Amino acid sequence: MGAKIEIRNLHASIEDQPILRGVNLTVEQGEIHALMGPNGSGKSTLANVLAGNPAFEVTEGEILFDGSNFMDLEPDERSRAGLFLAFQYPISIPGVTLANFLRQAINARMKAVDPDSEGISIPAFRRLLKEKMDYLGIDHKFAGRYLNEGFSGGEKKRAEVLQMATLEPKFAILDETDSGLDIDALRTVAEGVNKLVGPSLGVLVITHYQRILDYIKPDKVHIMFEGRIVESAGPELALHLEQAGYDWIREKYGTALETE
Ligand code: ADP
Ligand code: MG
């Protein structure tokens, strides 16, 4: 049986302001889940809490990874355990090529496991990188580019997908920004993710719009509203949202707490 992430009655605050108010969600390796919901409902907060962002305080509930407590782990330990958070790395590092960046990421991981590790050898890394780029249909020249310097939206996403492919996580969380990705970037992400999905990868796609779900087919769709998951169903739920919007969710689940 594959690994799973289990989120149970998760409450989290930022600056004493409760944002997550009892989230329950289980994602298994091999499954694709979509997390949708109006802006401000807490989707990105959930991604941050899963990644271990210290700005957010977990006040109640638990997160289990493979049955063991995930909350005691530092962010880098969570990444090493197999969690990958995409869409939050588009940093530009002057003078560092994408290949170098990826090699450093692999080496950091190997050294964390074994402090005496000398990291991956250059020939072994070249083989790995070539294999992943060929699989994803990425031009080899791309790895020689300086990280994010002059990258288009689509190229940034391509770099992230390549990073995901080389790190081989068990779970990937893709948080589409509220402004949304342009079509080129969207297709790049979706094609890459579709190539990487399989029995050993679980994916949580976080999105406000259903657009990305035209390309990435979720097994399950959840709607978050006011810090809770209020509806869960199959892919038809995303199509329904596309037509109906979120008004019915506000009517059905809106509380006096709502300020907007
Ligand atoms: P979503 O991703 O669903 O749009 P977020 O998780 O980004 O929602 O935000 C949920 C709520 O938390 C919003 O009301 C937002 O203003 C608040 N929030 C998020 N991040 C911060 C932060 N760093 N500081 C203060 N409030 C925040
Ligand atoms: Mg968000």
223 pLDDT above the threshold of 80: yes
Classify each residue of 3-26 as buried b or exposed e, where b means 16 or more C-beta atoms within 10 Å of its C-beta: bbbbbeebbbbeeeebbbbebebe
What pTM did the predictor assign? 0.90
Tens of pLDDT, residue by residue over 113-147, are: 899 999 999 999 999 999 999 999 999 999 999 88
Mutate to test the pocket of ligand 1, among 17, 25, 39, 45 (most ligand atoms within 8 A of CB): 45
Nearest CA to ligand 1 atom 26: 14
Pocket lining: 192 vs ligand 1, CB cutoff 6 Å: no
200 pLDDT above the threshold of 50: yes
Query: Quick one: which ligand is closest to 42's CA?
Result: 1
Mutate to test the pocket of ligand 1, among 13, 14, 21, 50 (most ligand atoms within 8 A of CB): 14
Q: Which amino acid is at 198?
A: G
Nearest CA to ligand 1 atom 15: 40
Question: Residues 6 or more apart from 166 whose CB is under 8 A from it?
Answer: 102, 105, 106, 128, 129, 132
Q: How confident is the model at residue 260 (pLDDT cuts 50, 70, 90)?
A: very low
Residue ranges and CATH numbers for the domains of the chain are: 4-90+170-258 (3.40.50.300)
Q: How far, in Å, CA of 247 to CA of 260, rounded? A: 13
Nearest CA to ligand 1 atom 24: 14
- The ligand 1 atom at the shortest distance from the C-alpha of residue 42 is 6
- The ligand 1 atom at the shortest distance from the C-alpha of residue 48 is 6
- % of the chain beyond a pLDDT of 90: 67
